[in-house]
Amino acid sequence: MALTLASAWYPRGELPRLMKLLPLLREVYQALVITLPPDVDGTIQKALDEMGQQYQGQIMGMVTTDWSWGRYQSLQAALATPATHIHYVDLDRLLRWVETRPQEWRQTAQSVSAHDCLIIGRTPAAYASHPQALVQTEAISNLVASYLLSHPVDVSAGSKGFSRQAAGYLVAHCQPGRALGSDAEWPVTLMRAGFAIDYVEVDGLDWEIPDQGQPSAANTLRQRQIAIEYDADPENWKRRVAVAFEIVQSGIEASTRMSQ
């Protein structure tokens, strides 16, 4: 298996952790494709360029013209590598996963080779680490996605695995622009095209936001403290309702599109 990492990254202080964990990442991923927002600090792009030089072009940092294209473009660029399979995961979530549960991450990433589409969701314990603004709104989008896929799934953990054929189908038949909507759009699109959809839950995709700006992954106490603060801000609830709506809408549109 030649496994490529496809990842979107909006940097919030994770660069030192990425540099520290890079040797571990390279043990699992033959190549790393990381997309970045248009307003990214130039030092981030420079650091990724230097990593690419160090590893003979097997690490690629790409600045997007529109951040809503980040996930799609990372998947598209991953197809330019010799990958037989692609593991998509939001980079901030990946770093936490590798730091806190490296064996689980390694086993899950390696298992991608056995699937056309592997949805990687959260165990109840991992899900419960999130603030209620996420738990309650994602319950809705996950319920709709589960109905569309005819199987109980957590699609909103920011991680999925694809065979090269499945990833190529997504790039050819999906459009960029609703990044978080891909949580439902991608697996629904593949299911409607006849690809097998599989599912696994992991502990390592617990809440990553408290890690921002920290030298290492946050502990449970910090997660709880930041969750309380997060839930106290009505704007966060408003934002998460919009995210859930985007996921639901994208999933339904993919189901309708593929049935025509």
- Note the pLDDT tens digit of each residue in 146-174: 999 999 999 999 999 999 999 999 999 99
Is the pLDDT confidence value at 259 over 90?
Answer: no
Question: Using one digit for the tens of pLDDT, what is the confidence trace for 209-243?
Answer: 999 999 999 999 999 999 999 999 999 999 999 99
The predicted model scores a pTM of 0.95
How far is the C-alpha of 229 from the C-alpha of 105, rounded, in Å? 29
Q: What is the C-alpha to C-alpha distance for residues 145 and 185, in angstroms, rounded to an integer?
A: 9
Contacts of 198 (CB under 8 A, 6+ apart): 115, 117, 118, 119
**Residue 85 CA from chain centroid, whole number:** 15
Q: What is the DSSP letter of 114?
A: G
Residue 191 Rama label (left phi>0; alpha psi -120 to 50; beta): alpha
Token readout for 183 is 């949580």
Residue 107 has pLDDT above 80, yes or no: yes
pLDDT at 1 over 80: no
| CA 91/CA 78 separation, integer angstroms | 15
- The pair of three-digit structure tokens given for residue 84, joined into one six-digit string: 């037989």
| Residues 6 or more apart whose Cβ sits within 8 Å of residue 164 | 79, 83, 84, 85, 86
CA dihedral 232, 238, 240, 243 (to 10 degrees): -170
- pLDDT of the residue at 257: 81
Q: Taking residues 189-206, report their average pLDDT.
A: 97
Contact 220, 206 (CB under 8 A): no
Give me the number of domains the chain comprises: 1
Q: How far apart are CA 161 and CA 200, in angstroms?
A: 11
Its domain, for residue 63, covers 3-259
Helix (H, G, I), strand (E, B) or coil at 197: strand
- pLDDT tier for residue 258 given thresholds of 50, 70 and 90: low
Banded pLDDT at 195 (limits 50, 70, 90): very high
Euclidean distance between CA atoms 228 and 131, whole angstroms: 7
Residue 260 confidence (pLDDT): 43
DSSP 80: T
In whole angstroms, how far apart are CA 44 and each of 13, 15, 48, 96?
A: 10, 7, 6, 19
The CATH number that applies at residue 170 is: 3.90.550.10
Name the pLDDT band for 56 (thresholds 50, 70, 90). confident
